[in-house]
Amino acid sequence: MQIILMFLLTIATLAAALYAHYRTPYHTPTPQSRWFVHIFLGLLGLAFGWVTSQLYPVSGLMKALIFLCSFGIVHVPAAAILFIKRQQKRQ
């Protein structure tokens, strides 16, 4: 049961990561700033995912899910901000 819940949470956070990277070009003025945001979020996600996966004494699939979920969690605030900006632009 724990793996199923972790799998669902991982899917949700990775969807937020995809959304954040998809919407970034619409809200950044130059290609250099786009690349900076993509690289910054990617590296921050990798670092947070690695550190978090090392904190828990698990192995195998659960360790991979913890890493991926942590990678996605870093992107959730950016995805939320970009979603709000998109909603404000529509009005």
pLDDT tens-digit map of 4-37:
999 999 999 999 999 999 999 999 999 999 999 9
Query: Over the stretch 59-79, which tens digit does the pLDDT of each residue have?
Result: 899 999 999 999 999 999 999
The pLDDT score that the predictor gives to residue 77 is: 96
Q: Tell me the average pLDDT across 72-89.
A: 94
Q: Residue ranges per domain, the chain?
A: 29-91
The pTM for the full model equals: 0.90
E strand or H helix at 42: helix 31-55
Instruction: With beta carbons less than 8 A apart as the criterion, state whether 65 and 7 touch.
Output: yes
b/e sequence 17-50, b meaning 16+ C-beta within 10 Å = bebbbebbeeeeeeeeebeebeeebeeebeebbe
